[in-house]
Structure 1
Amino acid sequence: MKFGHAFKEALEAETYPRHWVDKAVPYRQLKKILGKVREELINNGYDPDTLQKLVAERNAEYRLESDDSQLLRPKLVVRPATTSAQPLDQKTEVDSLPESPVSLSPTSSASTEPGPSALTHDSAPPYSHRQQQTSDGEWVDVPLDADARFFSVLQQDVNELDTLQDKERVAMIENIHVIGNEIAQVARPRKPVIDFSRSDLYRWREILDLYLSAEVFFSTNEVSGGARSSDRARKQLVWFQEEVGKRQLPQKFKIKSSAVAFQHFLSLNATLLQNLQFQELNQTAITKIIKKFDKRTSLGVKKTFPKVMNSAHFISETISKDICAQLSRDVISLVPQVVDYTCIVCLSICWLPIRLDCDHLFCIRCMIKMQNRQKRFCPLCRADVIQRANESHIDMELVRYLERWFPKETKEKQRNNEDERRKELLGDLYVEGAQPPCIVM
């Protein structure tokens, strides 16, 4: 199936918003203009084979540059000694060319619609008389109209896609703020006493932990890190939804508004996925039409086009990374994860947290053990601070924070600490899970 037809079907198949489809790359229009570009080059005597040879011999260059207003100005220049290429309807002897660079008519502006070229007009002067010396001295311009029209249409569309991306970015960020507020209301712990019947803290913590593990749109993996493709993002999003379903987390919500917030969260991810698919589809269309341009003209703009486009978003980046960062700040960070407050020694919650002079945190039991073993250096930065730690190094503000956000984990850690302490005191007399026996009676 030809790409133009496949492109049209893909735009219709995914039920993209109408205003998105209206801004899609006009692939068929560009393809028609490309036919005129090829025709104009051939009429000037520069068929693809001739151009390929001239470019290879460094006797011709196609320069795609932007002016002060950031508009693309394509220009084909050749060396005077090699301007023997003739229009198909004219005959001009090479010997008639002057020895010094001669004049070509200026290229048309990028907004000019390609029409009947003066090159094929019966009254047109010989080709050598229609050349204009450029500022490069040894190079002369070849007048072309259709290529300016081609890049004018393409540049305008890329700029419109950039504008569309900006609007969608703003809309999604606003939705993230709304969803973040919804989740904050249903997931926050209650004061002064934790009331689990009025909080879905642990359900949301599990949901967001799964979401972080899924790495739907952006991966931090060392091997396959970076932004996801739309296909991979779809698979990861499906995995996330399936895992949430297997654990029946939505059914375990105790607050009705949690279910609404969860649906809004899924809807936001679906919108972001659709945006990523639309972006990839249009980027493929641009890649295809530029590749076709090079194939039909041998002008070689594949490498230079992305550099001169000055595209804020569409060519140079995707919005998935920025949106994921915003999602992390405004939603995921609202429900802190225990992994962010884990002691690196015992790999459980850092309770009671000892903040060393080097600012690193360890739980109090691990700190006591390190001191008893005469350890001196911080396991993270190797600063000589272990033996200086005492009760004043307990981070009481963090203690209150952990009690509020991790009530189950802190209580479990306290029990484990007490059991471990009893085991140290009683030695062989200690029975796990039992109260310490009386050794007097």
Structure 2
Amino acid sequence: MKFGHAFKEALAADSYPSHWVDKAVPYRQLKKILGKVQEELINNGYDPEKLHQLLAEHNAEYRLESDDSHNLRPKLLVRPSLHNLSIENATETGSVANSSAPSSPDAAEPPPSDGLSLPDQEQQEKQQPLQAQDTEWVDVPLDADVRFFAILQTDVSELDTLQDKERQTMTGEIHDIGIEISQVARPRRSMIDFSKSDLYRWREILELYLAAEVFFSTNEVSGGARNSERARKQLVWFQDEVNKRDLPQKFKIKASAVAFQHFLSLNATLLQNLQFQELNQTAITKIIKKFDKRTSLGVKKTFPKVMHSAHFISDAISRDICAQLSRDVISLVPQVVDYTCIVCLSICWLPIRLDCSHLFCIRCMIKMQNRNKRYCPLCRADVIQRANESTKSTHPLNYCRRVIFTDRTSPAHIDMKLVRYLEEWFPKETKEKQKYNEIERRKELLGDTYVDNQQQPPCVVM
């Protein structure tokens, strides 16, 4: 199937908004104009094979330049003698009816100057850069290619404007979704409020979304922005995992279900936008490739450079939106992985902030001190033995006694602000870690004689 037909079917099949379709690349129109570009070049005596040879020998150059109004102005420059020769050849074959070749034979080839013979002058021209000899070259007048690039540039600019508008719209939607989720996924204030919170449901949903890496991957092997096909597969995987765990059915608040549908709708819109962008980028690439194939003018490399200001060509909208999504939505529900002790790989409770600013849970810090460790596992600073739980004591941590922390007497190395934050956002995890720490402390005190009541078998007599 030819790309023009496939492009038209793709625009109709994916239910794109009508104002998107109106701004799509006019591929068929450009293809028709391209036929006139080729015809105009041949009429001037420059068929693709000849142009390829002239460009390879640096006897011709095709430029895409911007004028003061930032409009593209293509130019075909050739050596005067070669241009006149082409006109004569085209006239002999009947290709040109009215040639613009000069009537004077002296104009066919510039006379030697500065006392140089003709061979010496030609050698000097070869050694000089092309830009320095612009006044000695002929600008071949072409109309069709001016129309071709005028339409293409206008369309790319309109697509760029459309992308900016869609980005602004989605940014506003992300802000609104962030407000919705913040209302239903807030941390508990009391046991009554906690029963009305969907904090843990949303944490699990967003954790799956981060694992899916729908639009952007941080993988070392395949990192970077996803293409639309891979993004679609990752989004389907995310939705399947959410449904497998029945998370939407577990919502305690009706507004959570509404917010979740808005979240899915935003991702679907972003995926559709990415597909539309890729489709038009492919159309631009195809028509430029076809232009080079029919004319041998080699604009494949120069066109993206002159259109460098067009974000539609160089940037993926998904990258900016994903950054906004992460900042305004996902960060609203902190993940436990961001507050994990690197030693025990569980929540960092109670968090000890060393003099080097690195964090560890208090149990791991005590164990390191008991083993006479001195250096931070992360930066190797000599700070382990200086850590303590009292503002006055300079002795190492001694957690054999129960310590009650208050706002008035904050310990020197225990980060009390983080303690309150973890209690607020991770009530289940902190409670489990406190229980685990208490069991570890009793084992240290009682040794092998300690028996955990929960690990005892049930009484068979009673």
Q: TM-score, normalised by structure 1?
A: 0.88
- Please say if 1:255 is aligned against 2:253: yes
| Partner Cα distance (2:303, 2:270) in 1 | 27
Q: Identify the residue that residue 63 of structure 2 maps to in structure 1.
A: 63
- The code of the aligned residue for 1:142 comes to V
Residue number in structure 2 paired with 1:351:
349
For residue 96 of structure 1, report the CA deviation from its aligned partner.
Answer: 6.0
* Residue among 425, 428, 446 paired with 1:405: 425
User: Match of 1:329, as an amino acid?
Assistant: R
Cα-to-partner distance string for 1:349-407 (whole Å, 9 max, x where unaligned): 00000111111111011111111112121111122211111111101010000001000
Alignment partner, residue 85 of structure 1:
86
Q: Answer whether contact 2:217 2:226 (CA < 8 A) is retained.
A: yes
Aligned residue in 2 for 1:390: 388
In structure 1, the residue matched to 2:76 is: 76
- 1:98 and 2:98 equivalent? no
- Partners of 1:159 and 1:311 within 8 A in 2: no
What residue in structure 2 maps to residue 169 of structure 1? 167
Matched residue, 2:10: 10
Q: How many Å apart are 1:85 and its aligned residue?
A: 1.0
**What code does the residue aligned with 1:405 have?**
W
Superposition pairs of residues 187-206 of structure 1, within 5 angstroms: 187-193=185-191, 195-206=193-204
Letter in 2 for 1:421: R
In structure 1, C-alpha distance between the alignment counterparts of 2:385 and 2:132, rounded to whole Å: 77
- Contact 1:51/1:298 (8 A) holds in 2: yes
Q: Deviations over 1:257-310 (max 9, x none)?
A: 100000000000000000000000000000000000000100000011001013
TM-superposed deviation, 1:238: 0.2
Contact 1:65 1:73 in 2 (8 A): yes
Report the Cα distance in structure 1 between the residues aligned to 2:182 and 2:34, rounded to whole angstroms: 54
TM-fit CA distance, 1:70: 1.8
Letter in 2 for 1:74: P
Partner amino acid for 2:422?
A: L
| Higher-Rg member (1/2) | 2
Q: How far apart, in 2, do the equivalents of 1:65 and 1:268 lie?
A: 40
Q: Please state if 1:369 is matched with 2:367.
A: yes
Q: Secondary structure at the match of 1:85?
A: helix
The one-letter code sitting in structure 2 at the alignment partner of 1:140 is V
Q: Which amino acid is the alignment partner of residue 60 of structure 1?
A: A
Scaled by the length of structure 2, the TM-score of the pair is 0.84
Identify the residue that residue 52 of structure 2 maps to in structure 1. 52
Unpaired runs of at least 5, structure 2:
112-130, 390-411, 457-462
What residue is the counterpart of 1:114 in the other structure? none
Looking at structure 1, the residues matched to 78 and 333 of structure 2 have their Cα atoms a distance apart, in angstroms, of 64
AA partner of residue 397 (structure 1): K
Q: 1:370 to 1:14 in 2, by over 3 A?
A: same
Work out whether 1:427 is the aligned partner of 2:447: yes
The aligned amino acid for 1:209 is E
Q: Any gaps of 5 or more consecutive residues in structure 1? A: 102-132, 437-441
- When the two chains are superposed, the root-mean-square deviation of aligned CA atoms in Å is 1.9
Q: Tell me, what secondary structure is at the counterpart of 2:15?
A: coil
Structure 1 segment 236-255 matched on structure 2, within 5 A: 236-255=234-253
Structure 1 residue 430: Cα displacement: 2.4
2:174–2:328 Cα contact (<8 Å) kept? yes
Percent identity among equivalent residues? Answer: 80
Tell me how far apart the structure 1 counterparts of residues 208 and 161 of structure 2 sit (CA, whole Å): 33
Structure 2 counterpart SS, 1:286: helix
Q: SS in structure 2 opposite 1:58?
A: coil
